[in-house]
Amino acid sequence: MKKALKIAITILFAVLLVACGDNNNFGNIDNFDHEAQALIDNDSIRSFLDKHYYDFNVDSIKRITSNQTPLSQDANLVTMNVTESDVDYELYVYKRREGNPTIDKGFPTVMDSVLVQYHGFSLEKTDSLVEFEYRGSPIWFQLNAVIRGWTHGFTNFKNGDNNSGSNGPITFINGGKGVLIIPSGLAYRNTGTGSGTLINKSLIFYIDLFDFIQNTDHDNDGVPSYLEDPDGDGDPRNDDTDGDGLPNFADPDDDGDLVPTKDEDANGDGNPGNDFSDPNKPTIPDYLNPDIR
């Protein structure tokens, strides 16, 4: 029964990967020169940052016309160094407002679910922006299942406060607000979207972060998904301790010993990550140690 359940979960996880917006092509041969494209993208993005500024009056990026401070010199611009598939990228995040909620949850992790709204543009060679998508009402996304520019970019913002009335629309105040400026390698890469658009396009998103689920636990095993990262590379999606094809964050039995992870909690504190019962493997928690059941 447990084996059948695990097979079913594996199939479901595979289907979810196909259905979501994450653009990683695991198992596919890709001879495209992503490193060269990263250099091209960064040159065009830096040129854009030098020629544009953020206009607080209209909450929008505008082309410099006089002595405005360019985005490249604006203290609100954060540069994140992100490595994906052995290629180094620079992701730019403009923090219009970090977020100042009454109930401060801190910052979401790369595995949390977020409630957002956004407005997306592609960056063209002429430094112009072309709109391709607009979402003007709140929608939930899992940050492990979207383009990687979103995955990392949203970790710079905090949640807001629910200001919705009893019968009115869902509204939030004091949440994070800004702009994500994303090279194509952290967007839809050389494959584009389902319709073939946005191939090798750098993207710009105006975003609002309303809320997020702290310590998202995809497999309900008692270990937050962002902590299911044994190799410590910051990407729990590539950790599969028992080699069954299901990453730990989606696997209810991480070490394949037929004992659910949530039950490998010897001290009963609800956290399987701090139980170490094997003197021969003192640094490996029980839920990742098939010798302990």
The predicted-structure confidence for 230-260, as pLDDT tens digits, reads as follows 998 989 999 999 999 999 999 999 989 989 8
Q: In the numeric block, which tokens belong to residue 101?
A: 């909620």
Full set of structural domains in the chain with CATH: 32-213 (3.10.50.40)
Q: Which helix (H) or strand (E) holds 83?
A: strand 77-84
pTM of the model: 0.84
Q: Give dist(CA 228, CA 238) in Å, integer.
A: 10
In the numeric block, the tokens 């998904």 are attached to: 225
Q: Residue range 134-138: average pLDDT?
A: 90
What is residue 22's predicted lDDT score, i.e. its pLDDT?
Answer: 54
Token pair for residue 231?
């190799």
- 186 in Cβ contact with 91 (< 8 Å): yes
Give the pLDDT of residue 29. 55
Helix (H) or strand (E) holding 182: strand 176-182
SS3 143: helix
User: pLDDT category, 210, cuts 50, 70, 90?
Assistant: very high
Token pair of 243, please? 């080699």
Identity of residue 132: F
- 185-214 average pLDDT score: 91
Measured between alpha carbons, how far is residue 9 from residues 15, 247, 248 in Å? 10, 11, 12
What are the structure tokens assigned to 262, written together?
A: 């949530």
At 283 the pLDDT is 87
Q: Other C-beta atoms within 10 Å of 71: how many?
A: 23
Residue 7 has a pLDDT of 46
Would you state the pLDDT for residue 127?
A: 83
Flag whether pLDDT at 76 surpasses 60: yes
Q: How confident is the model at residue 4 (pLDDT cuts 50, 70, 90)?
A: very low
